[in-house]
Structure 1
């Protein structure tokens, strides 16, 4: 009998801006290969090597395929297999007992975008927890500070259509390791480069993207707003601005000018570590090149002043009149182009207490240890808080509480599962219906199941729908099928479902509500000066606030950016990718290493007032003096005694958007005692 080979369309579910269209090869019903879909207008058949490992991940020997119940102490990974009915009975009984004794706000969902599908990340789950009356989770761990900063300036999370960036003559990639995190933007930039464009990277670390660029400017961490204001100073002083655009489409220029005048090249150089000549050259290059495009990354917003940094950068295209020119403008995120009715999808009206307690996911540690408003049930899905949440000492102390009932829905026994009472098997995206949008390109994509659920795995959609039934929730919101929900979502925004199903993708938002025809700020213009910010107690024009270490005994600023092989903690257990990445390394500048007697491959202890972790040293000039860099979130390894780097990061929130401050972390490093 010959093998039956079929090719099936799919979509990458990872929390990545590219949202790649995939083609999956199946042999006798089993996935054997994942490739890019060459017919997709943006991703065009190119995918990262991580995604090619999806078959290995889908059929991994360690994948959870049945419900599990803890049999030993928390932290021991001691479980026994149970049935779904036993799991549901245990969960429902605990829910009912907690609600009766403590109230429904003692139940907290914890999730993010481990799966970017709308149905499985913010659909049936939100409906369920709203109806349950649970505490709200403020999901701000990733991009909320920068998104808010961009909105204050521009009014919406919209930017240039990335397909137009092939026409850009100057591309500034600011705080974004695009080679590792936004591959197709790099491909567009390469095409622009063939047409004569220059690629400039601004970052704190000489990463893969910095090494690829035509010109790399290495600035001190947390000084991005100072550089933006310094560029404005030169642009204004040398009349490299578009006065017609400013008069027609902006407000607050005089106030911005007054602030920028203080950031002379010498002052800006002092803060950023760049030379005056570099600042002048960059400003002149930007001011004299049209069209110019700024790709604003996630990195800079993870400082305590990160929201303001993004707001400041977002002012630059308006100063030089780049909006409305093909290939000109900026892009922080493009989620604003997708006009979904989130109220209809998530149904917050089902919650009987709209003023219920809200917990910021960056402060999970504090919430779990807060006895005044105790969390008694934690339900984790699409996330791994025992790796990704800051201040891990507190997070894990909270997870170890005997009186906390924790449920984890996942593919593998992650670090969070160590503390779970019930572990539920989750489907991979290959086993689900879903709808995917990008926060970079403008294509909505439909996903149909490629294979049946493996073992007894269930999707988030199915899990919460079935839990709703067992809780006695009889609302219509819980009786829809996956396909019915998708139809409702797309038809609500004027998309023909049959066309979407036939083609697999459709472009939306490209023709309407684009800059400069539409600025949805209160003034309907680009707001160099924001009255709204003033009312909210924030500086109304962009300012620079230096980051200061809390304690002088921790002199190195730690930057914990992404690596090339994993996506946050996802893929952290795939052997081939771990081999490519090597091992967890701390990059440290030679001068700092000499002071501490550290050489490459020495084992070092990185520590501060919150904790310590053990890493291998890499002495390199890729990082600045006074900084230390670690890339990637590695799962705990008891044999090597590696720990989560987030044992060092704090629960402090950024200047706006209630975002995380992972990068405003100060540490000391010492060679491990033999």
Structure 2
């Protein structure tokens, strides 16, 4: 929607929030003579204490000459250096799109149409993703190539196999110890970084696990520099020390976890009531009551207070079953034995973290309780990511902090309707999600497919053909592994539509381009800002501060317009977006009129807020925190999270070390929204060129000096970057950056082709054939490489010729249409 705040006058100050990342910082937009001139923090907003460079660069984004402001269609073959873009009307663009989608659905089923939506955690699609997902579900598409397996899945979904919920909200106001694992809030979530700094000032201890010393790691009480991808071994080693020294919450484990559940020694499964009684349940777990010296039903979790059986946690007992006596040990005993294999010396050998530091950290965790924790992509972008996430959740369980003051909790919720339309999904859609057969517990169970599975369906029609693709802000060729296969797949599509502000390399293969406006040109309603109880109860209707430029529209408007043409009006409030917002707002106890009159936002009606605290740890098959996952076991995965080496590491592939002796990781440049906005001068000045960080010793051995252009080579391919010496890196590890393709003409900085000898595309270095067996995550942060100094050190403009890839061709001509 695009209702513009007030009328156009000089020096207006309009309240809102910046939608460019997960932090969603409260801000005030300054309008002068009808133009957006600046954006500053709104310090009265729950998330508005500061604003990062991306938010301050909003005027550059809004008025960028690179923006596409009109719908366009391709007139030349896919893959041509010049797509021959031709301006068309919105009606033609939308009618053509709807007609093609309906024809594909008629011939091949709606599953032949896939969606690829960029991340709401790091881009402004967060304003409208729910509308796009609703379109996908209502149409019958079974697939959203969303990238969750390399973004949020391992913190928001993988923990549900332990807790029944995701990571939740860390109670930074009351935590005694804060554990950050593969997560730097300074670059990913500024509002949370500020709260972390507050906690540090009041005396909270901080532990940071990260191969790089950055952000909170600089002032951490313990910075644990792991070899990339070995985090699981570290988590098990810390758990071993906590258990061995008796520094765990045994009462919490007995009440809240399935640690007391007995494991059948011969069949390696949980003992259940049906083993003891002919009419017993096949899912009810059994523990050993030491007071009675007899088995008893474990039951669901029991809150603190009140009596409970004296459950055995360690040791061996013989249980009389219907099939005779069976020797059993509790789940916790099995976990203890597994962790015992990760002594500090072994952890040091695997991870590189000194044994003495492992010991100190384990003691600090217990001594500084209650503990809050958070993890993100540093955990998730490896081939062993899911079991690593499980190992971290079990380590956290030992502290007994979950759901308690100072620990992680599930935020209270407003009873707003689900705008994404999950209820519209049919059983047929759920069954047809690509990758579901190979990853039944992973993202496909929620209609998220990996790019690998999408490309296979397009190229090989396996398990069925995908013929059309709708991409909303996604840049598959730069943000996902397997770039070459991706380009091949995009060329083979019958039809592709791309909605975005700019022509990115993925859009270069589209048949129709739909121009999207910026967050400052659209009205958006949000209920809940996550980081604290106050923020979670905050409701705000952000106005459009200026009219949409050209004919650009927001993604939600596009979804509603397509729904009308696809015959889906009944699922879209009669295609009345205002009616949808009105229903959503009413659930907060506030009307649209009230919210429009208070653009700064306001607290929801307290009676509308639903407490979620009782849900923590219960939404699992056992109703308890599951140290042992029977769900994993029955699907062929280890029920306990033992450590497995990354697929491409010095240990798993020693035969490659002669050619590729360095460990390759990657970082997210905080100056940009993933692969977006390198064309904005103020941001590009901060990071003019793609960077690869390398330890001075490793650089010296390769005759590399700070600032030199280098080639990073892996078994999959090569890419260029500038060397940056970093004394805090391990000498055997280098760190690259993803997202480089875009030129910045104002500074004379080139764009880079996504394919070819002189590309700066990090994902040419990553193979999507090796993946986490549960989630499908690929090794963006744990591979092997070699780095060599380029013979000539001229600027890449000369080295690469024009530096322009197909998506940039005709850009100036397009803007003049």
Q: TM-score, normalised by structure 1?
A: 0.90
Q: Which residue among 194, 197, 211 is the counterpart of 2:218? A: 211
Gaps of 5+ in 1: none
1:264-279 equivalence runs, <5 A: 264-279=343-358
- Corresponding residue SS for 1:479: helix
Residues 24/279 of structure 1: CA separation in 2 closer, same or farther (3 Å cut): same
8 A Cα contact 1:362 1:653, kept in partner:
no
SS of residue matched to 1:166:
coil
Cα gap change, 1:400 to 1:518, in 2 (>3 Å): closer
2-structure distance, mates of 1:444, 1:578: 34
- 1:631 matched to which residue of 2? 737
Pairwise CA RMSD of aligned residues? 3.0
2:601 to 488, 497, 504: 504
Determine if the alignment matches structure 1 residue 386 to structure 2 residue 465: no
1:65–1:335 CA distance, 2 compared to 1 (3 A): farther
Q: 1:321 to 1:499 in 2, by over 3 A?
A: farther
Q: Give the aligned partner of residue 662 of structure 1.
A: 780
Equivalence for 2:620: 521
Summarize the Cα distance change of 1:368–1:647 in structure 2 as closer, same or farther, 3 Å threshold. farther
State the Cα deviation string for residues 460-493 of structure 1 (Å, max 9, x = none): 2221222232334443525243332233335457
Distance 1:136 1:336 in 2: 30
Instruction: Report the secondary structure of 1:110's partner residue.
Output: strand
Contact 1:296/1:330, CA 8 A, preserved across alignment: no
Match among 680, 692, 697 for residue 574 of structure 1: 680
Contact 1:168 1:291 in 2 (8 A): yes
- Other structure's SS at 2:104 match: helix
* Aligned counterpart in structure 2 of residue 261 of structure 1, from 340, 350, 353: 340
Q: 1 CA distance for matches of 2:646 and 2:551?
A: 49
Rounded to whole Å, the distance in 2 between the matches of 1:423 and 1:66 is: 8
Is 1:171 paired with 2:178? Answer: yes
- Output the CA distance in 2 between the equivalents of 1:658 and 1:504: 39
Q: Residues 433 and 470 of structure 1: is their aligned pair in 2 closer, same or farther, counting only changes over 3 Å?
A: same
CA contact (8 A) 1:29 1:451 kept: yes
Q: Secondary structure at the match of 1:614?
A: strand
Q: 1:526-547, CA deviations, whole angstroms, 9 ceiling, x for partnerless residues?
A: 2222222222222222321112
The 1-side partners of 2:727 and 2:781 are apart by 19
Q: Residues of 2 paired with 1:472 and 1:513: CA distance?
A: 37
Identify which range, 464-473 or 409-418, moves more after superposition: 464-473
14, 22, 27: which one pairs with 1:22?
Answer: 27
Match of 2:251 in 1: 244
For residues 227 and 344 of structure 1, the distance between their equivalents in structure 2, rounded to whole angstroms, comes to 38
- Please give the residue correspondences for 1:208-357 in structure 2 after superposition, counting only pairs within 5 Å: 208-252=215-259, 253-327=332-406, 329-330=407-408, 341-342=417-418, 345-349=421-425, 355-357=431-433
Question: Larger deviation: 441-450 or 406-415?
Answer: 441-450
Aligned residue for 2:734, secondary structure, equals: strand
Q: 1:605 aligns with which of 711, 716, 719?
A: 711
In the other structure, the counterpart of 2:640 is: 541
- Is it true that 1:358 corresponds to 2:434 in the alignment? yes
Structure-2 separation of matches of 1:278 and 1:116 = 40
Bigger mean CA offset, 419-428 vs 485-494: 485-494
Taking the aligned partners of 1:357 and 1:528, their CA distance within structure 2 comes to 29
Q: 2:205 aligns with which of 198, 223, 246?
A: 198
1:182 to 182, 186, 189: 189
Q: How many residues of Structure 1 are paired with residues of Structure 2 in the alignment?
A: 664
Q: Residue in 2 aligned with 1:400?
A: 491
Partner of 2:112: 106
Measured in 1, the distance between the counterparts of 2:404 and 2:381 equals 30
Query: Given the alignment of the two structures, is residue 34 of structure 1 paired with residue 39 of structure 2, yes or no?
Result: yes
Q: 1:523, 1:336 → 2: CA distance?
A: 24
Match of residue 530 from structure 1: 629
Indicate which of 407, 418, 435 corresponds to 2:525: 435
Bigger mean CA offset, 51-60 vs 596-605: 596-605
**Aligned counterpart, 2:765:** 648
Are 1:158 and 1:337, in contact at CA under 8 Å, matched by a contact in 2?
no
Q: Displacement, 1:135? A: 4.1
Tell me what 1:58 maps to. Answer: 62
Q: Which position in structure 2 is the counterpart of 1:376?
A: 467
Match of 1:671 in 2: 789
Aligned residue number for residue 586 of structure 1: 692
Please give the residue correspondences for 1:416-565 in structure 2 after superposition, counting only pairs within 5 Å: 416-436=506-526, 437-438=528-529, 440-441=531-532, 442-443=536-537, 445-446=539-540, 447-477=542-572, 479-491=574-586, 502=598, 504-506=601-603, 512-514=611-613, 519-549=618-648, 552=656, 553-565=659-671
CA distance in structure 1 between the aligned counterparts of 2:339 and 2:786, rounded to whole angstroms: 35
Instruction: Write the deviation string for residues 15-56 of structure 1: whole angstroms up to 9, x where unpaired.
Output: 42x222222122233222212222223x24311121111121
For 2:224 and 2:571, the matched residues in 1 are separated by 55
Q: Does the 8 Å contact 1:66/1:457 carry over to 2? A: yes
In the aligned structure 2, how far is the partner of 1:428 from the partner of 1:191?
Answer: 32
With normalisation by structure 2, the TM-score equals: 0.75
